[in-house]
């Protein structure tokens, strides 16, 4: 069983080569890289994205490409645990945490136009505005709009009653000022999201063309327009990039229909980096080697499993019997064998959750939730008062478990049913289609529902506020949890300038919620990747950012006489 230290190392032990300093990318120049690449550029395999336009970015592949093509205002450095500038040179926050002023560094888009504050304003407004050209092309609202919901004028623009985000102003070309409806001290962390980068006027002038060939300000540009039926995308180093130039002149992105097909490309040598299917993870980790600490592929250790920003859980309906009883919720949590779920069913590519805050989020504490542990004896003690055993070890207690039928969760659901049966609880399961699941959740027609929560920003507020603030939408506060003190502390934390104090307040909230157990944490999600022997160094961080701009290739030579590829790494002094 991979231990928690390994995953924590994966979250925080990323080497400095792949991280972001105060302003810009760190890279390592390699005079021999051109010769190495003449054989073949680095090739990575991704599942074909739905779109390349930031407006519709919602899948892992779209975000991976967005990291390469666009620079957002800020970036979170998982190595140092600090928020840093990227497209911004610096920023200031008002004392009431409602106004943020960003000063941009000099930069240009891939088409040579200067990046200005108006380009960020345009980018955000096209995501929110239902009448934007991007919305017309997509034919649906952007799922990313909620990240900007705290900005003044959001609702007016979203409802079609305004033409701009009133809270976003541009005093001059290099200054972007953002006014919020309510205080939110962690807002600069949200702006590190890759989909919140700037777009030039061309993005709205011809939204269809922009979707095929996005014009960004990142370290790579597209070599040519992408057509959905093509099997590959070529990224080319952007020579006028405002930060340090990418170490590689180009990267080929092989597009696969699914993870399995991408892994086949890796096995045949047509891809150097890809997602590893869960069923192949144990063998890949053994044959390619796993770094003891960090999510950096390097010589001899090219299997990494990146602890991410998502938690799998069961949400309890706290507003109806039997799960309005906190002791019942606690007992069910004690009954679940998380180590089996993460270690056996997921081949050690997940970690048993000991709370709702993922390890990659600053403020995470080991064993934060007392009931997120296997203890069947205590589970039975908690149930005995209200639901004593009636016959053959079973109790007069039945819970209904709702889940997405097509989500690939059947084995997990079956394991949970068996776990609950061991403490005398009958669990009736119902797999439904996604739209039906959403309808049932909105109507609170469930006892338990399997769900994932992924925070857009690596902050505790991004987990605790949407899930447990009583004023949050029912689609995020699925359990219906309400605690006045929790509400007050969550609101107060958003006003606090000191990050240390803010985290302390949120940890108090986490303690309270953990005792009440409105959700039952199952696993922290992680993503396994594998690299070929050509990969000398490549970082992958918990937010899913693949460090192509700082990647290092080793020497590449093939021995064709034997029909077997032989790869040698570059010897470093």
Q: CA-based diameter of the chain, in Å?
A: 76
pLDDT, average across residues 126-141: 95
Mean pLDDT of the chain: 90
Co-location of 233 and 350 in the same domain:
no
Percentage of the chain beyond pLDDT 90 is 84
Co-location of 193 and 272 in the same domain:
yes
Co-location of 275 and 388 in the same domain:
no
Indicate which CATH number applies to the domain containing 151. Answer: 3.40.190.10
Tokens of 114: 């200067």
**What are the two backbone dihedrals, phi and then psi, of residue 280, each rounded to the nearest 5 degrees?**
-95, -5
pLDDT, average across residues 150-178: 97
Q: Is the dihedral of CA 179, 180, 186, 191 positive or negative?
A: negative
Indicate the number of domains in the chain. 2
pLDDT recorded at residue 132: 97
pLDDT recorded at residue 555: 57
pLDDT, average across residues 3-8: 37
Co-location of 231 and 315 in the same domain:
no
Task: Kindly indicate the confidence band of residue 307, based on its pLDDT and cuts at 50, 70 and 90.
Answer: confident
pLDDT recorded at residue 142: 95
Co-location of 263 and 193 in the same domain:
yes
Rounded Cα–Cα distance for residues 289 and 284 (Å): 8
Contact 66, 194 (CB under 8 A): yes
- According to DSSP, residue 398 is labeled E
Q: Is the dihedral of CA 531, 537, 542, 548 positive or negative?
A: negative
In a 13 Å sphere around the CA of 301, the CA atoms on its Cβ side amount to 14
Rounded Cα–Cα distance for residues 180 and 149 (Å): 9
**Which helix or strand (DSSP H or E) is residue 525 part of?**
strand 519-531
pLDDT tens digits, residue range 392-451? 999 999 999 999 999 899 999 999 999 999 999 999 999 999 999 999 999 999 999 999
Co-location of 485 and 540 in the same domain:
no
Bridge partner residues of 256 (DSSP): 47
Which residue has tokens 């004593």?
388
Q: Among 31, 23, 13, which Cα is nearest to 553's?
A: 31
For residues 369 and 59, the model is more confident at 369
28 pLDDT exceeds 60?
no
Q: Among 138, 7, 27, which Cα is nearest to 527's?
A: 7
Co-location of 359 and 278 in the same domain:
no
Q: Among 304, 281, 286, which Cα is nearest to 294's?
A: 304
Co-location of 213 and 284 in the same domain:
yes
- Strand, helix or coil for residue 288: helix
- Strand, helix or coil for residue 453: strand
> Considering the domain boundaries, does residue 70 fall inside one?
yes
Indicate which CATH number applies to the domain containing 334. Answer: 3.10.105.10
71 pLDDT exceeds 70?
yes
Contact 486, 453 (CB under 8 A): no
- pTM score, two decimals? 0.89
Co-location of 78 and 184 in the same domain:
yes
pLDDT recorded at residue 22: 34
Owning domain of residue 43 = 4-302+532-553
257 pLDDT exceeds 60?
yes
Rounded Cα–Cα distance for residues 459 and 82 (Å): 11
> Considering the domain boundaries, does residue 572 fall inside one?
no
pLDDT recorded at residue 508: 98
Neighbours of 81 (CB within 10 A): 12
For residues 4 and 67, the model is more confident at 67
pLDDT, average across residues 311-315: 98
Co-location of 417 and 445 in the same domain:
yes
Task: Kindly indicate the confidence band of residue 39, based on its pLDDT and cuts at 50, 70 and 90.
Answer: low
Tokens of 147: 């990240």
> Considering the domain boundaries, does residue 569 fall inside one?
no
> Considering the domain boundaries, does residue 106 fall inside one?
yes
Q: Among 430, 424, 421, which Cα is nearest to 401's?
A: 430
Co-location of 293 and 191 in the same domain:
yes
pLDDT recorded at residue 26: 26
Co-location of 42 and 149 in the same domain:
yes
> Considering the domain boundaries, does residue 570 fall inside one?
no
Rounded Cα–Cα distance for residues 533 and 123 (Å): 39
**Which helix or strand (DSSP H or E) is residue 320 part of?**
none
Q: Is 573 exposed, middle or buried (0-12, 13-18, 19+ CB in 10 A)?
A: exposed
pLDDT tens digits, residue range 182-220? 999 999 999 999 999 999 999 999 999 999 999 999 999
User: In sequence order, what are the residues at sequence separation of 6 or more whose Cβ sits closer than 8 angstroms to the Cβ of residue 32?
Assistant: 570
Tokens of 474: 């029912």
23 pLDDT exceeds 70?
no
pLDDT recorded at residue 229: 85
């Amino acid at each position: 069983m991979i231990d928690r230290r390994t995953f924590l190392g994966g979250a925080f032990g990323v080497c400095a080569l792949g991280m972001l300093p105060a302003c810009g990318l760190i890279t390592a120049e390699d005079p021999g890289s051109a010769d190495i690449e003449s054989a073949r550029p680095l090739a990575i395999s991704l599942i074909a994205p739905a779109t390349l336009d930031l407006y519709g970015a919602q899948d892992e592949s779209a975000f991976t490409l967005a990291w390469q093509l666009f620079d957002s205002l800020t970036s979170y450095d998982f190595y140092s645990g600090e928020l840093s500038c990227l497209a911004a040179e610096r920023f200031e926050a008002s004392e009431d945490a409602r106004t943020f002023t960003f000063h941009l560094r000099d930069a240009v888009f891939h088409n040579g136009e200067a990046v200005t504050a108006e380009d960020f304003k345009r980018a955000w407004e096209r995501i929110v505005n239902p009448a934007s050209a991007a919305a017309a092309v997509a034919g649906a609202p952007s799922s990313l709009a909620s990240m900007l919901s705290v900005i003044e004028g959001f609702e007016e623009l979203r409802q079609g009653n305004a033409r701009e985000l009133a809270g976003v102003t541009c005093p001059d070309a290099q200054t972007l000022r953002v006014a919020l409806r309510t205080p939110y001290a962690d807002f600069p962390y949200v702006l590190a999201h890759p989909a919140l980068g700037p777009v030039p006027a061309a993005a709205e002038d011809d939204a269809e063309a922009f979707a095929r060939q996005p014009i960004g300000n990142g370290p790579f540009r597209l070599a040519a327009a992408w057509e959905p039926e093509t099997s590959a995308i070529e990224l080319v180093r952007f020579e006028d990039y405002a930060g340090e130039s990418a170490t590689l002149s180009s990267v080929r992105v092989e597009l696969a229909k699914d993870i399995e097909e991408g892994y086949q490309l890796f096995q045949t040598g047509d891809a150097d980096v890809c997602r590893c299917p869960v069923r192949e993870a144990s063998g890949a980790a053994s044959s390619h080697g796993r770094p003891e600490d960090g999510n950096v592929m390097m010589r001899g250790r090219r299997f990494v499993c990146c602890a991410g920003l998502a938690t799998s859980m069961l949400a309890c309906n706290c507003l109806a019997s039997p799960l309005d009883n906190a002791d019942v919720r606690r007992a069910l949590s004690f009954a679940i064998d998380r180590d089996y779920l993460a270690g056996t069913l997921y081949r050690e590519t997940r970690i048993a959750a000991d709370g709702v805050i993922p390890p990659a989020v600053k403020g995470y504490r080991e064993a934060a939730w007392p009931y997120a542990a296997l203890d069947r004896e205590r589970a039975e003690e908690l149930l005995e008062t209200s639901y004593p055993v009636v016959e053959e070890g079973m109790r007069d207690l039945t819970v209904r478990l709702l889940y997405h039928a097509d989500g690939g969760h059947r084995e997990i659901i079956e394991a949970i049913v068996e776990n609950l049966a061991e403490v005398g609880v009958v669990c009736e399961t119902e797999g439904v289609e996604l739209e039906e699941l959403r309808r049932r959740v909105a109507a609170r027609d469930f006892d338990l529902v399997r769900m994932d929560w992924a925070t857009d920003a690596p902050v505790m507020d991004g987990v605790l506020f949407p899930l447990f603030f009583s004023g949050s939408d029912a689609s995020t506060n699925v359990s219906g949890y309400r605690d006045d003190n929790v509400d007050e502390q969550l609101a107060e934390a958003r006003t606090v300038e000191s990050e240390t104090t803010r985290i302390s307040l949120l940890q108090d909230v986490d303690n309270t919620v953990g005792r009440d157990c409105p959700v039952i944490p199952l696993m922290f999600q992680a993503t396994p990747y594998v690299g070929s022997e050509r990969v000398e160094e490549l970082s992958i961080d918990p937010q899913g950012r693949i460090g192509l701009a700082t990647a290092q290739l080793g020497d590449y030579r093939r021995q064709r006489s034997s029909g077997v590829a032989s790869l040698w790494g570059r010897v470093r002094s």
